[in-house]
């Protein structure tokens, strides 16, 4: 039972760190937090670790906010607003 508790605790801790990193990136880019993709930050951590190993990056927030790394998809694309479906009948009965 302790193993399961440890896995759940570690998952929540990692999620908290990921949310904190996403919030810092949003602040760096001056964007609202909901425009940042936590999944893409998670996937981008691999790219950051490779750049860090090569000595090209030190700070993950600066790395994800840099112009040359926008192809990682950290910022979500803006969507068109959802149009409401008009369910009114074509004619009104008298």
> Is the separation of the CB atoms in 51 and 44 below 8 Å?
no
CB 60 within 8 A of CB 21: yes
Per-residue pLDDT band for 94 (boundaries 50, 70, 90) equals: low
Does any domain span residue 49?
yes
Tell whether 90 is covered by a domain: no
Q: For the whole model, what pTM was predicted?
A: 0.78
CB 25 within 8 A of CB 36: yes
Does 86 map to a domain? no
Is the confidence at residue 76, as pLDDT, over 80? Answer: yes
Is 88 a domain residue?
no
Distance CA 6, CA 9 (A): 5
- Which range of residues forms the domain containing residue 17? 2-72
Query: Structural domain tally of the chain?
Result: 1
């Amino acid at each position: 039972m302790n193993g399961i508790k440890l896995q759940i605790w570690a998952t929540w801790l990692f999620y908290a760190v990921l949310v904190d990193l996403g919030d810092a990136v949003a602040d760096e880019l001056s964007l609202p937090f909901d425009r940042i993709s936590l999944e893409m930050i998670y996937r981008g951590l691999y790219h950051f670790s490779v750049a860090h190993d090569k000595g090209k990056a030190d700070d993950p927030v600066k790395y994800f906010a840099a112009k040359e790394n926008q192809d990682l998809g950290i910022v979500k694309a803006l969507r068109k607003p959802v149009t409401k479906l008009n369910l009114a009948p074509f004619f009104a009965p008298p």
